[in-house]
């Protein structure tokens, strides 16, 4: 078909673990059932517009390396049209059901906010038309409040009211178009919502303003009948030295303090967990037990580098433990696994991008299967039920009900001979996890 944007990319199909074809799935078989759901229903993959359509590979030391079909097109609006057609085509060829975008990824910024809205409307109109004949859906939309120089001090935490108002206008519009495209979620990531030095920062005012901003977004969503899930994405540093949305626990505290917990869940990214000094399992687990696990930005960092490398996920140990938490959460519900990931700079072809998505999808398919078997056998559950068994005693139950006293607890052990608790058997448990992978 001459209309194709990526004419050299075929439809990617499941060929099984023995296939030598780099443009095929070895493990991701969308219709295969794992437990009571298909792989497609469990995994809800999504493609990131900013990396896959806009990322060119430039870094602080060098220019773009990527070769893309629209390279020779100079009109930014025409490029935007091709890229939008491109993401629908590529998601379909890869059997990825969703995509995600920032407002400024899909349409160029105009001279005024009003002109930017107009550009956005045109491209959103195109996306809507493409959706009529495509299976591709919108996982989430968001507003880019960090690239433009006006946001150098932040967007929703800017010390300058005019900048704050501009950010508000962008978010209002982004919510409107996310609704128009049937988006399942709306994400806040505080790109520049943080600070470099407290010498020029009123932290309390900035956090109060951020909360007011989010409440206005929640109110506007209600006003226009957008019923998507709001998500807040934690990240500890980069671009600012101190990001206000450091990690899941910090964001939970913020949401609770400002009465936003009823409206907002988390979008948790693997590489951001690493930067915060946590495992992704810790981040997902914390969110799960507090009822705020919303969606996942599936990527991975590099153990030797201290910044956000946003690589495609390949680590099966990690994908297994992630899927373990997600299954225990009863799934991702309206969320998904969004590949917030980019190929390395020397991987400059479109084929590299496709192969990167394939290994990401295969890694999660294997993680899903391993986690599902592990959970079905209940090995970790049985072990931990035993480990915490003493809490089933009457005294243990009293503590849980808040009815015990220090003196009562003391009395229960006052005349005990030396008590040695059972071994934690970490290495044994690690060997069990390895067996399932
Ligand atoms: C950068 C973030 C970024 C967000 C995106 C959505 O480190 O991961 O890609 O996911 O802006 O809010
Ligand atoms: Mg992200
Ligand atoms: Mg990132």
Displacement of CA 267 from its chain's centroid (Å): 4
pLDDT above 90 coverage of the chain, percent: 99
- pLDDT at residue number 1: 46
Pocket flag, ligand 1, residue 284 (CB < 6 Å): no
**Ligand 1: which of 230, 297, 309, 341 to mutate, judged by most atoms within 8 Å of the beta carbon?**
297
**Residue 297 CA to ligand 2 centre (angstroms):** 5
Is 419 annotated in the active site? no
Q: CA-CA distance, 86 to 279, in Å (whole number)? A: 34
- Residue bearing the CA closest to ligand 1, atom 5: 189
What is the domain class of 34-377 according to CATH? alpha beta
* Beta-bridge partner residues of 102: 142
Q: What separation in angstroms does the CA of 327 have from each of 34, 142, 296, 388?
A: 11, 26, 13, 22
> Using CA positions, which residue lies closest to atom 12 of ligand 1?
189
Residues 6+ apart with CB under 8 A from 355: 22, 23
Ligand nearest to the CA of 186: 1
> Measured from the CB, is residue 297 less than 6 Å from ligand 1?
yes
* Ligand 1 mutation target, pool 46, 156, 189, 274, most atoms within 8 A of CB: 189
Average pLDDT over residues 295-321: 97
Instruction: Of 336, 318, 251, give the one whose Cα is nearest residue 286.
Output: 251
- Residue holding tokens 């206005």? 216
* Token pair listed for 126: 């195109």
- Tens of pLDDT, residues 93-111: 999 999 999 999 999 999 9
Q: What letter does residue 313 receive in the DSSP assignment?
A: P
pLDDT at 424: 98
The protein residue whose alpha carbon is closest to atom 2 in ligand 1 is 189
Residue 183, pLDDT above cutoff 50? yes
pLDDT-derived band at 281 (thresholds 50, 70, 90) equals very high
- Best probe residue, ligand 1, of 269, 280, 296, 339 (max atoms within 8 Å of C-beta): 269
* Closest by CA position to 96, among listed 7, 9, 191: 9
Residues in Cβ contact with 67 at an 8 Å cutoff, skipping those fewer than 6 apart: 348, 349, 350
Q: Is 342 in the pocket of ligand 1 (CB under 6 A)?
A: no
Runs of H (alpha helix) within 237-277: 248-257, 270-275
Contact assessment for residue 187 and residue 207, using Cβ atoms and an 8 Å cutoff: no
Closest residue to atom 3 of ligand 1, CA basis:
189
How do the domains of the chain map onto residue ranges?
A: 34-377, 381-436
pLDDT surpassing 80 at residue 162 = yes
Ligand 3 centroid, distance to 107 Cα (angstroms): 21
Protein residue whose Cα sits closest to atom 11 of ligand 1:
189
pLDDT score at 2: 57
Pairing of strands 337-339, 293-297: parallel
Measured from the Cα of 142, ligand 1's closest atom is: 12
Question: What whole-number distance in Å separates Cα of residue 16 and Cα of residue 416?
Answer: 59
What confidence score (pLDDT) does residue 184 get?
Answer: 98
Residues in CB range of 210: below 8 A, 6 or more apart:
156, 157, 190, 193, 244, 254
Instruction: Return d(Cα 100, Cα 269) in angstroms, integer.
Output: 14
SS3 track for 282-303: HHHHHHHHCCCEEEEECCECCC
Q: Tell me how far the alpha carbon of residue 69 lies from the centroid of ligand 3, in angstroms.
A: 26
Catalytic residue list contains 102: yes
* pLDDT of 10 over the 70 cut: yes
What average pLDDT does the structure give for the chain? 97
CA of 179 to the centre of ligand 2 (A): 21
- The alpha carbon of 431 is separated from its chain's Cα centroid by a whole number of angstroms, namely 29
**CA 336 – CA 65 distance, rounded (Å):** 30
Q: State the pLDDT confidence band at 45, using cuts at 50, 70 and 90.
A: very high
Q: Find the ligand nearest to 310 CA.
A: 3
| Mean pLDDT value of segment 356-362 | 99
**H or E, element range at 194:** strand 194-195
User: How confident is the model over 168-181, as a mean pLDDT?
Assistant: 98
């Amino acid at each position: 078909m001459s209309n194709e944007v990526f004419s050299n990319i075929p439809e990617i199909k499941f060929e099984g673990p023995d296939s030598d074809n780099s443009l095929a799935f070895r493990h991701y078989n969308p219709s295969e059932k794992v437990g009571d759901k298909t792989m497609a229903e469990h995994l809800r993959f999504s493609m990131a517009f900013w990396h896959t359509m806009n990322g060119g590979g430039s870094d602080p030391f060098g220019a773009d390396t990527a070769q893309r079909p629209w390279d020779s097109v100079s009109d930014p609006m025409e490029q935007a049209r091709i890229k939008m057609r491109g993401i629908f085509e590529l998601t379909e060829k890869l059997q990825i059901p969703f995509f995600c975008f920032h407002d400024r990824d899909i349409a160029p910024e105009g001279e005024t906010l009003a002109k930017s809205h107009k550009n956005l409307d045109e491209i959103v109109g195109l996306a809507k038309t493409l959706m009529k004949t495509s299976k591709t859906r919108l996982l989430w939309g968001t507003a880019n409040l960090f690239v433009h120089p006006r946001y150098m001090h932040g967007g929703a935490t800017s010390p300058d009211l005019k900048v704050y108002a501009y950010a508000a206008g962008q978010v209002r519009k982004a919510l409107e178009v996310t609704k128009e495209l049937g988006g399942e979620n709306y994400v806040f990531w505080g790109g520049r919502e943080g600070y470099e030095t407290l010498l020029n920062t009123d932290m309390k005012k900035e956090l109060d303003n951020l909360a007011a901003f989010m409440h206005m977004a929640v109110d506007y969503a209600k006003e226009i009948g957008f019923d998507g899930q709001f998500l807040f994405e934690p990240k500890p540093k980069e671009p600012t030295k101190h990001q206000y949305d450091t990690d899941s626990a910090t964001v939970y505290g913020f949401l609770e303090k400002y009465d936003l917990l009823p409206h907002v869940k988390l979008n948790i990214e693997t590489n951001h967990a690493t930067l915060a000094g946590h495992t992704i399992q810790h981040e997902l687990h914390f969110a799960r037990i507090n009822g705020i696990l919303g969606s996942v930005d599936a990527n991975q960092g590099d153990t030797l580098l201290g910044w956000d490398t946003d690589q495609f996920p390949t680590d099966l140990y990690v994908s297994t433990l992630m899927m373990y938490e997600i299954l225990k959460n009863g799934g991702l519900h309206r969320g998904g696994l969004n590949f917030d990931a980019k190929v390395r700079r020397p991987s400059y072809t479109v084929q590299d991008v496709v192969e990167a998505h394939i290994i990401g999808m295969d890694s999660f398919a294997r993680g899903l299967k391993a986690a599902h078997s592990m959970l079905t056998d209940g090995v970790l559950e049985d072990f931990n039920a035993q480990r915490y068994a003493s809490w089933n005693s009457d005294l243990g139950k009293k503590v849980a009900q808040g009815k015990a006293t220090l003196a009562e607890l003391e009395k229960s052990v006052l005349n005990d001979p030396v008590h040695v608790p059972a071994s934690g058997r970490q290495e044994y448990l690690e060997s069990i996890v390895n067996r399932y992978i």
